[in-house]
Chain A
Amino acid sequence: MTSFTINGRGVTVNADPDTPLLWIIREQLGLTGTKYGCGIAACGACTVHIDGGAVRSCSFPLGEAEGRSVITIEGLSHDRSHKLQRAWIAEQVPQCGYCQSGMIMAAAALLKEKPHPSDGDIDAAITNICRCGTYQRVRKAIHAAAKA
């Protein structure tokens, strides 16, 4: 049994502690905004926050979540009012959308650490893969959110 909080709510999960946290989030907790993309922490589609930092949940074992605070895209704000969510809508960033919750979670962790990131900061922090090629608008939206 592993206990942790997800989006502020305490949960206890009965699963093998080696299970990737991603599948606990999606299959056991029913929060499907976090996506599977590669399973090897290469693409970032599964990015969530653990104790405030960006983590690729496909490669994070459930057991290590014990006692910690997990935030998923569903918990970023209650009403889609996070400045990144607003910027994402204003800039119409997504195309297919599949990688976007991971992008937003990575960007949110960046802004927490660096409220006014440079292009170089964005280059270094946003290593997520987007096959639609939305990168240019991702960059623009992060700058817009930083100014908001």
Chain B
Amino acid sequence: MEPMNCTARVTDAACEVWVPTQGVEMCQNIAARVTGLPSERIMIHRTLIGGGFGRRLLGDFLKQTLIVAMAVKRPVKLIWSREEDMTHDFYRPAMLHHVSGGLDGAGVPVALAHRVVSPSHMLYIMPRAMFPQLADWTAPAAPPENIDTMAVEGLVECPYAIPNQLVEQHRLELDVPVSVWRTTGHGPNNFVLESFVDEMAFAAKADPLGFRRSLLSGNPRARKVLDLAAAKAGWAAAKPAGTARGVALASAFGGLIASVVELSVEDSKVKVRRVVSAVDCGRILDPGIATSNIIGGVVWGLSGMRTAITFDRGRVARANFDAFEPLHLWETPPVEVHFIDSGEKLGGTGELGPVPVHAAVCNAIFAATGKRVRSLPLSDSGFSFA
């Protein structure tokens, strides 16, 4: 919610900056490059961050503040308007997937092939770590052609035992600045993978949960997470009248999450009634923060199914919360989170929550209506949230 902002004082001898950033060292590097001062003369004060979500991994607003402060030779406080913020963002890349798969006569998957067309998620973030020759950290830097691990993450580590898998990556060059939008490549890739697994289950005339379980015999940790979500959601029990359920599993950020969504659809209006998530992210260090992260992540995931940035003659057309509406309180379903304290290596909870949400919702929409949602936002398929 906090718009991009920065306060800076630059003199011939030193540079002092107050900035809500996710990258203090990045800011120090940018400030050194922009001011020409040595790093030890740069002091970065990181203020409390009013939401980062990946946007504050970029230092463009810091650079702007420094340039102005040097030009006017006075301390400068910069606060972007919401319109400046929303129209000068680094957006989640639009991706196109072509997926094909094969089942044998018994309905067992024998092949899975993905072709992913996407701009590079890593074009702007952490470029210096990858490209030390860059002048500073605000310039875009393309990774070597067709090598962008984020564009294919979650696909190359598919948790299911399906033989004959192929993942192809093709980089799309666009002028739209893009970056990681909470879930990096995992979110969009999981939407595709878990929607397709659901389609395979349907083609195999199998229960979506049972179909997934059968492909996880070699992955007991994932199976346990899936089973916990199913048990807590009452997958085997009768559904409340007029509702349908969908499930999705994700392996991301060193953790595992399965979510079951219960919803109803009336006149193409989707009312999400309940979300149950089970998580194994190793050891739970702070149950309160971990729970909040997952609940908030689910809300983030649901919001992302409705919101979109559009362009009109080269300009961002959606500039404020009247045209880009995240979920409100009245639309937010009850979210339950259940943890497995497995003692395994620590995984992150910050970005895990949203990952399976898109597929779980769309799989439930299919269960309710027989209509597959293969593109987001939901309005692409004529659906909206009730």
Scan residues 1-54 of chain A and give those whose CB is less than 8 A from a CB of chain B: 35-40, 42-43, 45
Scan residues 1-49 of chain B and give those whose CB is less than 8 A from a CB of chain A: 1-3, 48-49
Contacts of B81 in A (CB 8 A): 39
Q: Are B300 and A37 in contact (CB under 8 A)?
A: no
Number of A residues, CB within 8 Å of B: 32
For the complex formed, measure the closest distance between the CB of B6 and the CB atoms of chain A, giving whole angstroms: 15
Binds B, one of A68-76, A77-85, A135-143: A135-143
Q: Are B299 and A133 in contact (CB under 8 A)?
A: yes
CA gap between A131 and B321 in the complex, in Å = 11
Scan residues 43-59 of chain B and give those whose CB is less than 8 A from a CB of chain A: 48-53
Asked if A97 is an interface residue, CB under 8 A from chain B, the answer is yes
Interfacial residues, chain B to chain A (CB-CB below 8 A):
1-3, 48-53, 79, 81-83, 288, 292, 295-300, 303, 320-322, 326-330, 332, 334-335
A-B contact pairs, 17 of them (CB 8 A): A37-B1, A37-B321, A38-B320, A39-B81, A39-B83, A40-B322, A42-B320, A96-B49, A98-B1, A130-B329, A131-B51, A133-B298, A135-B299, A135-B327, A136-B332, A136-B335, A137-B292
Q: Are B292 and A40 in contact (CB under 8 A)?
A: no
Asked if A95 is an interface residue, CB under 8 A from chain B, the answer is yes
Contacts of A128 in B (CB 8 A): 329
CA gap between A138 and B292 in the complex, in Å = 12
Q: Which of A38, A122, A136 contacts B321 (CB 8 A)?
A: A38
For the complex formed, measure the closest distance between the CB of B8 and the CB atoms of chain A, giving whole angstroms: 18
* 9 further contact pairs, Cβ within 8 A, besides A98-B50, A133-B296, A136-B295: A35-B1, A39-B320, A40-B321, A43-B1, A43-B321, A131-B53, A132-B292, A135-B299, A136-B335
Q: Are A92 and B288 in contact (CB under 8 A)?
A: yes
Scan residues 97-148 of chain A and give those whose CB is less than 8 A from a CB of chain B: 97-99, 122-124, 126-139
Q: Which of B79, B299, B300, B329 contacts A139 (CB 8 A)?
A: B329
Total A-B Cβ pairs within 8 A = 91
Contacts of A45 in B (CB 8 A): 1
Q: Are A123 and B329 in contact (CB under 8 A)?
A: yes
Q: Are A131 and B297 in contact (CB under 8 A)?
A: no
Q: Which residue of B lies closest to A120 (CB)?
A: B330
Q: Which of A92, A122, A129, A138 contacts B1 (CB 8 A)?
A: A129
Q: Are B329 and A122 in contact (CB under 8 A)?
A: yes
Contacts of A43 in B (CB 8 A): 1, 321
Q: Are A96 and B329 in contact (CB under 8 A)?
A: no
Q: A39-B82, A136-B334 are in contact. Are A129 and B2 (CB under 8 A)?
A: no
Q: Are A131 and B1 in contact (CB under 8 A)?
A: yes
Q: Are B326 and A42 in contact (CB under 8 A)?
A: no
Q: A42-B321, A131-B300 are in contact. Are A126 and B51 (CB under 8 A)?
A: no
Q: Are A134 and B326 in contact (CB under 8 A)?
A: no
Contacts of B83 in A (CB 8 A): 39
CA gap between A137 and B291 in the complex, in Å = 11
Q: Are B332 and A132 in contact (CB under 8 A)?
A: no
CA gap between A98 and B2 in the complex, in Å = 6
Contacts of A129 in B (CB 8 A): 1, 321, 326, 328
Contacts of B326 in A (CB 8 A): 129, 131
